[in-house]
Amino acid sequence: MPNYELTEGKTLVTLSKTAEKNSLINPELYSKYQVKRGLRDLDGRGVLVGLTEIGEVHSYILDEGEIIQVPGRLLYRGYDISDLVNGFTRDGRFGFEETAFLLLFGHLPDQKGLEDFKQILAGYQKLPEDFARDFILKSSSKDIMNALARSVLALYSFDDNPDDPSISNVLKQCLLLIACFPSLAVYAYHALSHYYSNQSLFIHSPRPELSTAENILTMLRPDSKYTKLEAALLDLALVLHAEHGGGNNSTFVTHVVTSTGTDTYSAMSAAIGALKGPRHGGANIKVIKMFEDMKNQLKDWNDDEEIEQYLTRILTKDAFDRSGLIYGIGHAVYSISDPRAVILKDYAAKLAQEKGLDDEFKLYASVERLAPQVIAKFNRMYKTVSANIDFYSGFVYKMLNIPVEMYTPMFAIARIAGWSAHRIEEIVNAGKIIRPAYKSVARRQKYLDLIERN
Ligand SMILES: CC(=O)SCCNC(=O)CCNC(=O)[C@H](O)C(C)(C)COP(=O)(O)OP(=O)(O)OC[C@H]1O[C@@H](n2cnc3c(N)ncnc32)[C@H](O)[C@@H]1OP(=O)(O)O
Ligand SMILES: O=C([O-])CC(=O)C(=O)O
């Protein structure tokens, strides 16, 4: 982007300094006016802004008004995530389609219902004629989440009835997006690796008889080959990422944008933008890059003291991306544990052993153990922090040879199921635009004519 020289030496640098200075609000005012920053109460509990039956994120119990932190639990439509995972893995079935059905329709499908649902999704898999060529390949993006959001917005033009908010129409649009996200993301990755990394370009079509996880691997790999274990692990990751209640940032964005009465494509592209952020879904890419940096910097991966020093340098903004964040650690709701991280860690350990990456797994486990202590030294903590879902997900994807650029898009491919259920829930129940209050703390000013200003 050009750096425009503006008149009278006012470059973008000086203007940005002015913008920054005049945007700063005295931090004391937030407590003075009891602002619930991050929509959180001072004890860390979220401000109650809605009701949902789709996902439940459980992290504490109240004992005589006192918050007692407990290991995290996640329920989809009232079913514990561990029971769901145990159910389909025990039966050797893929779980993502069944999970999407559960989230959208509120009950687990029977055999026939599941087969019918898979057929409906397969029917929506095909992108419009020339869509991949004209909208993905011709204008490739350096970021797949950006490409995905653009594709979602472009699909609006191919819909004969895009603005109809009836549930039958919105459901149809959501099913189409659930079915198309894998190809939209994978093709955007191929465009990126071709145009930015000079790799050969190939496009494989999704196959209607395959599961979402199998199709991702089929389309991603030049030879379309994958093992049953690889597909099963990717499927598990999709199930674990599919839903997380109404308050997580991207799902809340879905509620906020849906509450305006806008179309499905606008709501979902906004949610993709929210998920892309490194404090949310984008954390999985940051985690893997943080570990690459850490591995280069550490002399001894088994030395706790050296690891602690590196983590401290992250917090003091002296290491990695200088954001001060240890990615993959901490959560707005969970404290003692994120149940999804517990499940993924187990699989990561087994896979690491198979792939001869035990040392790297041990380093992850050490950081998981040490980071909460280091963070607690630097912050006033009202609750414990622990590894979140994104701590081990990137490591698992890496062991599945999934390119790093695809990690956050994998999250989106899964979470579109949850967003869809929440969009429908918002339309069915709300009818009220979401509009919280902002108190103005600006000084009132007397207007000056242009010639009077200096
Ligand atoms: C799928 C998901 O979205 S899971 C989350 C993925 N994100 C990450 O992994 C990024 C790293 N983690 C974080 O940035 C945070 O833990 C978040 C954004 C997830 C949650 O943030 P919060 O709700 O503010 O967490 P919490 O209230 O427990 O934090 C207390 C303090 O510890 C700090 N803290 C929490 N986690 C971290 C971390 N990983 N690294 C450094 N500091 C942290 C917070 O910034 C906060 O400090 P402050 O009071 O000075 O603002
Ligand atoms: O709930 C949150 O804030 C973030 C999260 O874990 C998710 O969206 O999966």
Q: Which tokens sit at 45?
A: 């509990």
Relative to beta strand 66-76, strand 79-80 is antiparallel
Q: What is the pLDDT of residue 42?
A: 83
User: In angstroms, what is the span from residue 244 Cα to ligand 2's centroid?
Assistant: 6
Would you list the DSSP string of 257-268?
HHTTT--HHHHH
Conformational region of residue 20, where left means phi above 0, alpha means psi within -120 to 50, and beta covers everything else:
alpha
Q: What is the pLDDT of residue 3?
A: 53
User: In angstroms, what is the span from residue 390 Cα to ligand 2's centroid?
Assistant: 10
Q: What is the pLDDT of residue 13?
A: 87
Query: Which protein residues are within 6 Å of ligand 2, measured from CB?
Result: 57, 244, 248, 331-333, 388-389
Cα distances (angstroms) measured from residue 56 to each of 14, 75, 279, 321:
47, 5, 21, 33
Closest of 266, 278, 219 to residue 411, by C-alpha: 278
Residue type, 41: D
Alpha-carbon distance of 240 to 91, in angstroms, equals 17
Rg (CA), the chain: 23
Cα distances (angstroms) measured from residue 344 to each of 234, 251, 347, 393, 402:
11, 22, 5, 7, 16
| Residues pairing with 210 in the sheet | none
Start-to-end C-alpha separation, the chain: 30
Q: What is the pLDDT of residue 65?
A: 85
**Structure-token match 């602002």, residue found:** 35
Residue type, 324: G
In which element (H, E) is residue 73 found? strand 66-76
Contact 70, 337 (CB under 8 A): no
**Structure-token match 């979402």, residue found:** 212
Contact 399, 355 (CB under 8 A): yes
User: In angstroms, what is the span from residue 317 Cα to ligand 1's centroid?
Assistant: 15
The protein residue with its alpha carbon nearest to ligand 2, atom 3, reads 248
The domain limits of the chain are: 72-280+408-429, 283-399
Q: What are the backbone angles phi and psi of residue 11, rounded to the nearest 5°?
A: -80, 175
The protein residue with its alpha carbon nearest to ligand 2, atom 9, reads 244
Task: Encode 21-51 in three state secondary structure.
Answer: HCCCCCHHHHHHCCCCHHHECCCCCECCCCC
- Into which CATH architecture does domain 72-280+408-429 fall? Orthogonal Bundle (1.10)
Ligand 2 pocket, mutate which of 59, 254, 333 (most atoms under 8 A from CB): 333
Ligand 2 pocket, mutate which of 244, 342, 389 (most atoms under 8 A from CB): 244
Query: Which protein residues are within 6 Å of ligand 1, measured from CB?
Result: 44, 279-281, 283, 315, 324-332, 375, 379-381, 383, 385, 388-390
Q: What are the backbone angles phi and psi of residue 134, rounded to the nearest 5°?
A: -80, -35
Q: Which CATH number fits domain 283-399: 3.40.1360.10, 3.40.50.2300, 1.10.230.10, 3.20.20.70?
A: 1.10.230.10
Q: What are the backbone angles phi and psi of residue 46, rounded to the nearest 5°?
A: -70, 145
Alpha-carbon distance of 274 to 335, in angstroms, equals 23
Q: Which residues are CB-contacts of 155 (< 8 A; sequence separation ≥ 6)?
A: 128, 131, 176, 177, 180, 265
ipTM surpassing 0.90: yes
Q: Which tokens sit at 343?
A: 């499940």
Report, as residue numbers or ranges, the catalytic residues: 331, 390
Alpha-carbon distance of 96 to 242, in angstroms, equals 8
pLDDT in tens, the chain (454 residues): 555 555 555 688 889 999 999 999 999 999 999 999 999 988 888 999 999 999 999 999 999 888 999 999 999 999 999 999 999 999 999 999 999 999 999 999 999 999 999 999 999 999 999 999 999 999 889 999 999 999 999 999 999 999 999 999 999 999 999 999 999 999 999 999 999 999 999 999 999 999 999 999 999 999 999 999 999 999 999 999 999 999 999 999 999 999 999 999 999 999 999 999 999 999 999 999 999 999 999 999 999 999 999 999 999 999 999 999 999 999 999 999 999 999 999 999 999 999 999 999 999 999 999 999 999 988 766 788 999 999 999 999 999 999 999 999 999 999 999 999 999 999 999 779 999 999 999 999 999 999 999 8
Instruction: Count the helix, strand and coil residues of the chain and give each as a percent rounded to the nearest 5.
Output: 55, 5, 35
- b/e 15-35 (16+ beta carbons within 10 angstroms → b): eeeeeeeeeeeeeeeeeeeee
Alpha-carbon distance of 99 to 106, in angstroms, equals 10
Largest CA distance in the chain: 78
Would you list the DSSP string of 156-196?
GGG-SSTT---HHHHHHHHHHHHHHHHHHHHHHHHHHHHHT
Q: Which tokens sit at 447?
A: 């207007």
